[in-house]
Structure 1
């Protein structure tokens, strides 16, 4: 228990300090493996709705949280205030009370929204009541495509099997706390459950997903994961066929990636499903993904894509290889080979990749003007620029290298002492604003809110 922990208020929300602080009579601890929405719903339940609403009101939160907060992939801004009041931070909550670490382990895109209802295990409910006196929603049960409880090898549920009522009903800010009694009178602990063999692929998917959620050693490199999968399946089409062959008979397992999209768009659940389809355990998969053999396969492919082609045939091979490895990606993303073919063999591009519709080749004069204006614009703004990756710069390397070398030499001579960088200026301004907020707190009459005008007045001692 953390009964001695006093709620804290943020200096960044001065208006909340005008109200009288509200303290919780009961502060429940976070249970092992509990998801954030479950913890918050228990706090609300044990302290009554009236006290919970008073806490939100004391934080200046009224209508902002009229939607479900369960997992933390896209947390509302106001949630940071609530967590800070409860003595923790959004960063810590995301690390220990959400499915976010699962996506980060695979260095994959975070899903924009939930695709399933909260799930529970009836045997875990019984264990939780025996250990803690009450059940709760488990984080690992909410992982995408996790349909089996790893501890008890039974199918997870999202509703009462007796009356088909969904247990995680939406209630403004939070879902309802998990309970063992349904409103129909059924005891969820005693209802029939479907056992799953530990050799079943659905169980293996739950196990590998749990280990990814629990990973503390840092995330993998998505490029290495893709290189490993391509090495095993020979091509993106081969990977797609493998996923369809293994998981096509399980429509409840959602595979979001297809050959219409780039491999870099694979979600963590797609990667986990692919590793299980290859018959790999988590530790075995990690070892192979990070092995020197996979790294060599990755760098070999990168060199083929980024190296300036020596001949026209080299450029064509690079483009065909890119198209096979990354179906769905625009060919122009294979920048060097694409620009080389745009200059030297546009007819081949149109013939072999008719759906790409290659753009019209700009003139040399146009590319020179574009390079000059881009460098000037970046120099004036103080922002860093990486013009070497721009198409016009690549084309100049191919067909106008003498001018490009002369322009670089001339620009280098003109460059004087560097001014303060954009990042340094930004950090300086942030420090000044924080100081202005701190000074505003010392006023005898604190403002209801801090605006840019009041910040300016406090910082520069000028009338707003």
Structure 2
């Protein structure tokens, strides 16, 4: 059971709270930490969608009044990613987070197959980091900065910076937002004013989704709302049929191409079924909340207005009951003849041969059609067998190159870890496959413990100061290495590394 709960900051990810708790307790073993927090060491953990939160709540100290619902709504990414889902689907994901489901919720939400991906590394604002250190003596990971498409800090108006902390791994370790991961250096904005203005408006809509209570809408109601707004702008007919090309053209005039690329929502005009054309159709495809907000912003509607508008018309259609006027038996014989004369063809090919006949029978005699029309499926080609010994040799060479590159890189040293090695190569967790034995062994051997990394940073800082002709002091070395000037443990370590008896403290 947990002995205490750290102060939980506004908009702080639950992952960040647990990371700070782990550091405060001085825990090294991830297994022991999970057992302390959840009462079980084998847990499917996630930065964005943690599970088994009821177990976590039961392991908190008795004096803690925080509820599971508060954790989910205020300290996970649940409110953003479920904003445009139906109440039924949202409640299902909520239950998975409370009780656990043994599956990745990210995959259930379509992260792996979707075109809009979450940021692969945790992000932060350098000015927020400095203010946190001054006010609290520590910083933390904010939810808002991890939302895809959020390029700026709305408080300070500066662009966000990325760290080496992976955000989408199933068995993520717990990293604090400290000087090893973040810095207070302020970078100049890399985007022009139009992009900044568009993005800040997007961010305010994200903040509404993350922090407000509103009634859920079904997908059909969402599409009907879009059709109504498009009708108002004469981008849809009076009956609600969308003038799709006009819609696409107007959308691309509203958003610069560079901005859509940053938002992972480039519209390919050469692709007949691009995401924007499909987005306003009533189909069951996954839609990223980022793209919902892009469409709403284009329509001049805030997220607040969208969720408080409950009435929508959508398409206006007149239903007519059609009665077949053809002889059924005659049509059946004609279709059977096509099947007989074209053995081995699948349904799509048969449809091309007898287009009008196929349409009539499919509509008016569907049960018979399914009974007599063959389904010809081509066997999928088997994937070639992987030569794991060869792949291991290739991966080992890549890992060695990555380590050499990390160690020889100019500027402040980066810690040699499995995550930084993968990042340097540009690969994901598959690189840790157990069949890559030599590669795994090499990575384990070269992984730096925290003390070795600190020593390397201190030596780098001393070398930098000496090359600049700056007189050495403990304080200057600490600052240059990025540890801050009031860390007594680091000051002692510096004293052991270099003879600085003649230096002022």
Aligned positions of 1:19-168 closer than 5 A: 22-24=1-3, 26-50=4-28, 53-57=31-35, 59-65=38-44, 69-72=46-49, 75-77=50-52, 79-86=53-60, 88=66, 90-107=68-85, 111-113=109-111, 115-116=118-119, 117-159=121-163, 166-168=164-166
Pick the aligned partner of 2:301 from 277, 280, 292: 280
State the structure with bigger RCO (CA 8 A, min sep 6), 1 or 2: 1
Name the structure 1 match of 2:258: 249
Q: How does 1:180-259 map to 2 (within 5 A)?
A: 181-182=179-180, 188-194=183-189, 197=193, 200-231=197-228, 232=230, 233-234=235-236, 235=242, 237-238=244-245, 239-245=247-253, 246=255, 248-250=257-259, 251-255=261-265, 257-259=275-277
- Distance verdict in 2 for CA 1:70–1:143, change over 3 Å: same
With over 3 angstroms needed to count, the CA separation of the structure-2 counterparts of 1:357 and 1:133, relative to structure 1, is farther
Mapped contact 1:168–1:176 kept (Cα < 8 A): no
Question: Residues 94, 282 of structure 1: CA spacing in aligned structure 2 closer, same or farther, 3 A cutoff?
Answer: same
- 1:40, 1:280 → 2: CA distance? 38
Distance 1:55 1:189, change over 3 A: closer
User: Where does structure 2 lack aligned partners over 5 or more consecutive residues?
Assistant: 90-107, 112-116, 237-241, 267-274, 325-350, 372-505
Query: Which residue does 1:402 correspond to in 2?
Result: none
CA deviation after TM superposition for structure 1 residue 359, in Å? 7.0
In the TM superposition, what is the alpha-carbon distance from 1:272 to its structure 2 partner? 0.4
TM-score (norm 2): 0.48
Could you tell me whether the CA contact under 8 Å between 1:154 and 1:195 is conserved in 2?
Answer: no
Distance 1:190 1:222 in 2: 44
1:295-310 aligned within 5 A: 295=312, 297-298=313-314, 301=316, 304=317, 308-310=319-321
Cα pair distance change 1:45/1:125, threshold 3 Å = same
CA distance 1:363–1:188, shift in 2 (3 Å): closer
State the shift of 1:178 in Å.
Answer: 0.9
Aligned-residue RMSD, C-alpha: 4.1
| Residue of structure 2 in register with 1:177 after alignment | 176
Distance 1:48 1:236, change over 3 A: farther
- The number of residue pairs the alignment matches comes to 286
Q: 1:171 and 1:94, CA in 2 relative to 1: closer, same or farther beyond 3 A?
A: closer
Once the 2 structures are TM-superposed, how far is the Cα of residue 363 of structure 1 from its aligned partner? 6.1
Question: Contact 2:81/2:289 (CA < 8 Å) preserved in 1?
Answer: yes
CA contact (8 A) 1:99 1:139 kept: yes
Shift of 1:103: 3.3
Q: CA separation in 2, counterparts of 1:217 and 1:362?
A: 43
- What TM-score, normalized by structure 1, do the two folds share? 0.51
SS at match of 1:153: coil
Which residue of the other structure, out of 344, 361, 368, is the alignment partner of 2:365?
361
